[in-house]
């Protein structure tokens, strides 16, 4: 048996290159389908996993093939009589989950790093009006740049061309000017260095309405918004502080895990959340050191008497934050759908408009979300940094 | 593994009547093995889809689900890749196994005319494709390759790899004899013998064409490099076709011979024998209850044939022995005829084979919003049913039969011709029509039946995909084109 070419085979790894290309194609496909993916339950509910499964309907190898109605049967082996049930399978109904276009159709799934999706989705975004503050703890973003060749390194970083040149050199010195068995001395590796970008430090307060009027659909929308927001912040800023506040009529600070496990009820007092945010920022994140952000989400079904208080608090928060965002998940229940209305703004929103000064303040961000796909636009609106460098 | 043992086994194989190409054994790492398996041929042109299979190979290998011990190419010489972590006994098995495969490549009828120099040709293909990528960009080349791979089941193995183009459309003249009383019916015939003009090959294509790739290579308005890519993919499809046609036979044959040769081989230690037996056992395990292992099935059929013909021979009913008989079978049959002719009633019972399917035959959904439980039941243990169920999916290169019925610069019409096997997946068909639309640069129509048995026309043109019911056909069947078409 011949193992003298083993090393040469080892260096020729077309699978890696094509696997790389395959990943690129997946990325492209994902990019073209971001709007749908952003509401993909598989991903949102992947709590804490680094890799998520993405259904890749659009990256199949197309060919003529038989459909569900293929005639014919399988062949198996073992005991039993005709008529005996030997296996069970559950086909999910159309309303549940994302089934294929055709009943029982297999969907090809790809594992993708969550970070990759977040990056594609929000690569040109950031926290707006980020400032250099005094006494700051710096936030690093890491990037790798290959810039040199070394004799020691990791196997995946072998530089093929340089290795072969070394091999040729060594053989030539030995009097045989040709390629031959690769020995460890021949191997050359590419080495990299981390490029460190410096950012200012930031604290982000996320407030979610968990009152009774928040239906499952609405909660899902808010949940997916915050999911992507948090994933994005964690990816882009390695040293960002995120605070989670949940409220109905009372507000409390919660852990991240509990934040997304939604189970509250009762009336709504949006001011309670804003109040707590203010207290937390005053106590922990003085403006001289921190870039502060508050993002609050609700369906706007607030107690009318509370609206005035909210507006005051928004004004106060703007005084201590780089930006304050208020997102509203609009009414979209059956009646309005039936009536053909796209939705309507809440009393709180009307009150904000009446107050006037908030609407003209560009650091006060407001957005409305009607359907799941809007989450994407809303994220882009809140995290748009164009022309918002330093006020 | 010691070279003299390979030589011993080689001699032993030849003494037993095996007739194979020289076999070159290459020892490689698991990583290289994953590469080789993903590509089918180690020198093949790049394509992202191999990257996908490579990833799957790698992940499954790392998780320990599947381990590929060897992989051999149909080539002269045959290149056999052997995993460096194999034990000595496993390697003995593999060497004998590979001689079996190489003998099968060389002698089975399905492999006649297959390219024995494919390892080199594939490398040339790869070079050409690299050049095209340089000239036209990766995206453009990949697009054509995607299309070509989408069509590569659709070749016509009987017409062969190299075919002449259709004869030109031309007019033939015949002399028509006039009978004694013909003028009574047609006064014009009174003048005597007349000439009749007939158009030959008036339609394009002259007969329904099933080698779709060949047709597009020769008749579609393509650039030379695009034509060449289709040609490369078609050539490789022809090369792999016999292997898809003889999976059960080929693996069964190789298993038969590693078992036989190692049984005869004397220079083996008891420990190696145990290790060998253990590996052999893994190779011929029946497989999961819903999918039968082809190694096992093929091996058992050969053993059964051998036993039966030995008995016949002993009883004077056959001129040839069991061993002679299986050599004949290995020469003449493919999987379809192998199963039809030699999977006997007794063997179906002995292997406890059955067919299975959904309990509710049709499985039509009344309420699609509800979760539905699908139950599978044993359908039959009849020999005919089992053979039919095994054979059916193998028809027509494991794919639906699609033919081109009519093609002009205005449009191209295709038809699904294997409706008895099932209906098409329309979502996939939609993408395929788009592919063909790109090649032909004119609207594409595909006639199919839907699940309710209605004739449907799937259409792809500038406006995208649409479908409509085929109208009742009145008048002459040839006039398909003239008919008015309704929008869906």
Chain A residues touching residue B416 (CB < 8 angstroms): 64
Looking at residue B478, its pLDDT comes to 46
User: A158 or A302, which is more confident?
Assistant: A158
Q: Is the pTM of this model over 0.80?
A: no
Give the model's confidence band at B419: pLDDT under 50 very low, under 70 low, under 90 confident, else very high.
confident
| Per-residue model confidence (pLDDT) at position B331 | 97
Distance between CA atoms of residues A30 and A20, nearest Å: 15
Is pLDDT above 50 for B221?
A: yes
Per-residue confidence (pLDDT) for residue A214, from 0 to 100: 78
Residues 6 or more apart whose Cβ sits within 8 Å of residue A206: A226, A229, A230, A242, A243, A244, A245, A259, A295, A296, A297
Pairing state of beta strands B353-358 and B170-176?
Answer: unpaired
Q: What percent of chain B has pLDDT over 70?
A: 92
B166 touches chain A (CB under 8 A): no
Residue A20 distance to chain B (closest CA, Å) = 7
Whether residue A28 contacts residue B143, with contact meaning beta carbons closer than 8 Å, is answered with no
Q: What is the mean pLDDT of residues B213-227?
A: 97
Closest-CA distance, A104 to chain B, in angstroms, reads 10
Task: Tell me: pLDDT of B252 over 50.
Answer: yes
Q: Which residue's structure tokens are 């009536």?
A: A339
How high is the ipTM of this complex? Answer: 0.86
Q: Say if residue A313's pLDDT is above 60.
A: yes
**Left if phi > 0, otherwise alpha if psi is -120 to 50, otherwise beta: which for A76?**
beta
Mean pLDDT over the full length of chain B: 89
- Distance in Å, alpha carbon of A166 to nearest chain B alpha carbon: 22
Residue A116 C-alpha, separation from nearest chain B C-alpha, in angstroms: 18
* Residue A264 Cα, gap to closest chain B Cα (Å): 29
**Residue A85 to residue B377, Cβ atoms within 8 A:** yes
Task: Residue window 113-152, chain B: list those with CB within 8 Å of chain A.
Answer: 138, 146, 149-151
| Residue A108 Cα, gap to closest chain B Cα (Å) | 12
Of B465, B443, B435, give the one whose Cα is nearest residue B145.
Answer: B435
Residues of A with CB below 8 A from B423's CB? 66-67, 69-70
Identify all chain B residues contacting A63, using CB atoms and an 8 Å cutoff: 149-151, 153, 399, 428, 432
CA-to-CA distance for A259 and A255, rounded, in angstroms?
6
Least confident of A159-168, A302-311, A340-349, B39-48: A340-349
Residue B476 has pLDDT above 70, yes or no: no
Judged against a pLDDT cut of 90, whether residue B243 lies above it is answered with: yes
Please tell me the class of the A200-382 domain: alpha beta
pLDDT at residue B162 tops 80: yes
- A61/B150 Cβ within 8 A: yes
Question: Looking at chain A, which residue has its C-alpha nearest residue B365?
Answer: A103
Structure tokens, B38: 């993903």
**Number of CB atoms found within 10 A of residue A20's CB:** 12
Cβ separation of A102 and B426 shorter than 8 Å? yes
Other CB atoms within 10 Å distance of the CB of residue B475: 8
Residues 6 or more apart whose CB falls under 8 angstroms from that of B81 comprise: B26, B28, B32, B33, B36, B42, B70, B71, B72
Query: Does B451 sit within 8 Å of A76, measured CB to CB?
Result: no
- Residue A241 has which token pair? 């502080």
Interfacial B residues in 428-487 facing A (CB < 8 Å): 428-429, 431-432, 435, 451
Residue A385 has pLDDT above 50, yes or no: yes
**Rounded CA gap, B379 and A194, in Å?**
63
Lowest mean pLDDT among A78-82, A335-339, B71-75, B91-95: A335-339
Q: Name the residue with higher pLDDT: B13 or A215.
A: B13
The pLDDT, as a whole number, for residue A279 is 92
Domain positions in chain B: 3-108+246-283, 118-165+206-243, 170-200, 294-363+374-396, 400-482
Give me the residue from A70, A86, A104 closest to B377, CB to CB.
A86
**With contact defined as beta carbons under 8 Å apart, do A246 and A226 qualify?**
no
Query: Of the candidates A192, A205, A386, A223, which has an alpha carbon nearest to the alpha carbon of residue A313?
Result: A205
Torsion (CA) A59, A60, A64, A69 in degrees, nearest 10: -120
Q: Does the pLDDT at position A139 exceed 70?
A: no
Q: With CA atoms as reference, report the closest residue to A234 among A352, A329, A141.
A: A141
**Closest residue, chain A, to B366 (C-alpha):** A93
Q: Is B438 exposed, middle or buried (0-12, 13-18, 19+ CB in 10 A)?
A: middle
| Interface residue B423 vs chain A (CB under 8 A) | yes
Q: Is the link from the previous residue into B53 a cis peptide, with omega within 30 of 0?
A: no
Question: Which of residues A271 and A266 earns the better pLDDT score?
Answer: A271
Spatial separation of the C-alpha atoms in residues A22 and B54, rounded to whole Å: 10
pLDDT tens-digit map of A177-194:
888 888 888 889 988 777
Q: Is the pLDDT of residue B237 over 60?
A: yes
- Give residue A247's region: left, alpha or beta (phi > 0; psi -120 to 50): beta
Check A66 against B422: CB less than 8 A apart: yes
Query: Distance between CA B273 and CA B263 in Å, rounded?
Result: 9
Query: For residues A323 and A325, what is the distance between their CA atoms, to the nearest angstrom?
Result: 7
Give residues with Cβ within 8 angstroms of B357, minimum separation 6: A73, A74, B376, B377, B379
pLDDT beyond 80 at A258? no
Lowest mean pLDDT among A27-31, A264-268, B88-92, B189-193: B189-193
Task: Choose among B214, B33, B232, B21: nearest CA to B111.
Answer: B21
- Give pLDDT, residue A334: 45
Contact list, B31 vs chain A (CB under 8 Å) = 10, 13
The tens digit of pLDDT for each residue in B172-196 reads: 887 777 777 777 777 776 666 677 7
Q: Report the alpha-carbon distance of residue B89 to residue B82 in Å, rounded.
A: 13
Residue A340 has pLDDT above 60, yes or no: no
Whether the bond into B194 is cis, omega within 30 of 0? no
| Nearest CA among B196, B231, B189 for reference residue B211 | B231
pLDDT tens per residue across span A191-225:
877 766 666 678 899 998 887 777 777 777 888 88
List CB contacts (< 8 A) between A81 and chain B: 378, 381
Contacts of A358 (CB under 8 A, 6+ apart): A311, A314, A315, A352, A364
| Res B130: pLDDT | 95
Treating both helix axes as pointing N-terminal to C-terminal, what angle do B3-15 and B88-107 enclose, rounded to 10 degrees?
40
The answer to whether B32 contacts A103, with C-beta atoms less than 8 Å apart, is no
Q: Domain-by-domain residue ranges, chain A?
A: 1-68+103-113, 141-197, 200-382
Rg (CA), chain B: 28
Chain B CB contacts of A82 under 8 Å are 354, 377-381
Q: How far apart are CA B333 and CA B249, in angstroms?
A: 8
| Rounded CA separation A124/B383 (Å) | 65
* Confidence band of B203 (pLDDT split at 50, 70, 90): confident
The H-assigned helical ranges of B108-245 are 118-136, 138-151, 182-185, 212-219, 224-245
Find tokens 């005319």 and name the residue: B113
Residue B312, φ and ψ in degrees, nearest 5: -60, -45
Interface contact B354-A90, CB threshold 8 A: no
Tell if the CB–CB gap between B375 and A2 is shorter than 8 Å: no
Distance of alpha carbon A311 from alpha carbon A358, whole angstroms: 8
Other Cβ atoms within 10 Å of B136 Cβ, number? 16
Say if the Cβ atoms of A75 and B48 lie within 8 Å.
no
Kindly tell me if the per-residue pLDDT of A101 is higher than 70.
Answer: no
Q: What is the mean pLDDT of chain A?
A: 77
Mean pLDDT of A22-36: 78
Determine the Cα–Cα distance for residues B335 and B341; give it in Å rounded to an integer. Answer: 10
- Given a contact cutoff of 8 angstroms between Cβ atoms, the answer to whether B457 and B445 are in contact is yes
For residue B138, pLDDT over 70 is answered with: yes
pLDDT reported for residue A100: 31
Higher pLDDT, B385 or B453: B385
Q: CA of B124: how far to CAs of A231, B37, B121, B131, B228, in Å? A: 47, 19, 5, 11, 12
**B385 phi and psi angles, rounded to 5 deg:** -65, -45
Instruction: Say which residues have a Cβ less than 8 Å from residue B111's Cβ, sequence separation at least 6.
Output: B74, B104, B105, B242, B246
- Cα–Cα distance for residue pair B206/B184, rounded to 1 Å: 37
Q: What is the mean pLDDT of residues A308-335?
A: 81
> What pLDDT sits at residue A222?
84
Neighbours of B250 (CB within 10 A): 26
Residue B149 has pLDDT above 50, yes or no: yes
Residue from A67, A92, A97, A112 whose CB has the most chain B CBs within 10 Å, to mutate: A67
Q: How many CB atoms lie within 10 A of CB A357?
A: 12
């Amino acid at each position: 048996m011949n193992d003298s070419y083993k090393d040469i085979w080892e260096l020729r790894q077309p699978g890696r290159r094509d696997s790389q290309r395959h990943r690129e194609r997946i990325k492209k496909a994902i990019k073209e389908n971001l709007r749908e993916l952003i509401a993909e339950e598989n991903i949102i509910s992947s709590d804490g996993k680094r890799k998520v499964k993405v259904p890749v309907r659009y990256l199949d190898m197309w060919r003529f093939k038989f459909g569900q109605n293929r005639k014919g049967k399988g062949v198996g082996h073992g005991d039993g009589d005709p008529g005996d049930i030997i296996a069970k399978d559950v086909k999910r109904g159309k309303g549940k989950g994302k089934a294929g276009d055709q009943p029982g159709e297999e969907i090809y799934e790809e594992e993708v790093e969550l970070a990759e999706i977040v990056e594609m989705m929000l690569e040109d975004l950031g926290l707006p009006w980020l400032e250099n503050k005094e006494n700051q703890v710096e936030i690093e973003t890491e990037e790798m740049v290959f810039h040199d060749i070394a004799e020691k390194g990791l196997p995946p970083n072998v530089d093929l061309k340089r290795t072969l040149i070394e091999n040729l050199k060594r053989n030539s010195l030995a009097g045989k000017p040709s390629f031959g068995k690769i020995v460890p001395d021949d191997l050359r590796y590419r080495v990299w260095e981390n490029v460190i970008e410096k950012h200012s430090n930031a604290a982000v307060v996320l407030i979610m309405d968990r009152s009774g009027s928040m239906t499952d659909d609405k909660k899902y929308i808010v949940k997916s918004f915050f999911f992507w927001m948090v994933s994005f912040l964690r990816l882009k800023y390695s040293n960002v502080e995120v605070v989670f506040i949940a409220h109905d009529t009372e507000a409390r600070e919660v852990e991240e895990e509990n934040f997304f496990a939604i189970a509250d009820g009762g009336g709504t007092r949006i001011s309670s959340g804003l109040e707590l945010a203010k207290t937390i920022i005053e106590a922990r994140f003085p403006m001289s050191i921190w870039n502060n952000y508050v993002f609050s989400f609700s369906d706007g079904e607030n107690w009318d008497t509370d609206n005035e208080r909210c507006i005051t608090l928004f004004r106060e928060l703007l005084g201590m934050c780089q930006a304050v965002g208020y997102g509203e998940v609009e009414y979209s229940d059956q009646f309005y759908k039936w009536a053909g209305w796209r939705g309507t703004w809440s009393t709180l929103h009307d009150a904000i408009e009446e107050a006037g000064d908030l609407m003209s303040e560009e650091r006060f961000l407001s957005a409305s979300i009607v359907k799941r796909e809007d989450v994407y636009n809303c994220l882009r609106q809140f995290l748009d940094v164009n022309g918002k460098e330093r006020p | 593994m010691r070279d003299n043992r390979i030589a011993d086994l080689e001699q032993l194989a030849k003494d037993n009547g095996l007739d194979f190409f020289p076999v070159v054994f290459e020892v490689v790492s698991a990583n290289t093995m994953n590469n080789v398996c993903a590509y089918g041929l180690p020198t093949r042109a790049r394509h992202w889809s191999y990257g996908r299979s490579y990833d799957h190979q790698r992940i499954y290998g790392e998780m320990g689900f599947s381990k590929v011990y060897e992989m051999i190419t149909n080539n002269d010489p045959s290149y056999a890749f052997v995993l460096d972590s194999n034990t000595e006994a496993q390697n003995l098995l593999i060497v004998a196994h590979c001689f079996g495969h190489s003998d099968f490549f060389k002698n089975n009828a399905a492999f006649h005319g297959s390219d024995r120099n494919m390892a080199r040709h594939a490398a040339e293909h790869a070079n050409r494709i690299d050049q095209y990528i340089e000239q036209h960009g990766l995206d453009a080349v990949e697009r054509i390759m995607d299309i070509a791979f989408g069509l590569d089941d659709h070749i016509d193995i009987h017409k062969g790899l190299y075919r002449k183009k259709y004869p030109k459309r031309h007019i033939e003249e015949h002399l028509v004899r006039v009978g004694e009383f013909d003028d009574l019916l047609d006064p014009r015939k009174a003048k005597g013998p007349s000439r009749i003009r007939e158009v030959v090959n008036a339609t394009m294509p002259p007969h329904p064409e099933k080698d779709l790739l060949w047709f597009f290579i020769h008749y579609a308005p393509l650039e030379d490099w695009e034509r060449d890519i289709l040609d490369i993919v078609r050539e490789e499809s022809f090369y792999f076709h016999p292997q898809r046609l003889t999976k059960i036979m080929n693996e069964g044959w190789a298993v038969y011979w590693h078992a036989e040769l190692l049984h005869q081989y004397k220079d083996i230690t008891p420990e190696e024998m145990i290790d060998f037996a253990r590996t052999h056992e893994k190779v011929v395990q029946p497989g999961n209850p819903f999918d039968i292992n082809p190694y096992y099935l093929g091996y058992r059929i050969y053993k059964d044939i051998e036993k039966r013909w030995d008995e016949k021979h002993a009883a004077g009913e056959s001129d040839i022995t069991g061993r002679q008989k299986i050599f004949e079978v290995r020469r003449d049959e493919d999987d379809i005829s192998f199963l039809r002719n030699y999977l006997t009633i007794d063997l179906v019972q002995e292997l406890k084979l059955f067919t299975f399917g959904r309990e509710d035959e049709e499985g039509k959904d009344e309420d699609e919003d509800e979760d539905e439980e699908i139950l599978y039941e044993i359908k039959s243990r009849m020999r005919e049913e089992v053979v039919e169920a095994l054979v059916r999916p193998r028809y027509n290169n494991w794919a639906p039969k699609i033919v081109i019925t009519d093609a002009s610069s205005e449009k191209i019409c295709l038809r699904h011709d294997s409706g008895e096997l099932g209906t098409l997946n329309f979502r996939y068909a939609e993408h395929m029509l788009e592919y063909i639309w790109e090649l032909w640069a004119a609207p594409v129509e595909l006639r199919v039946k839907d699940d309710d048995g209605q004739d449907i026309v799937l259409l792809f043109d500038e406006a995208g995909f649409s479908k409509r019911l085929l109208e009742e056909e009145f008048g002459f069947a040839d006039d398909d084109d003239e008919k008015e078409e309704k929008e869906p």
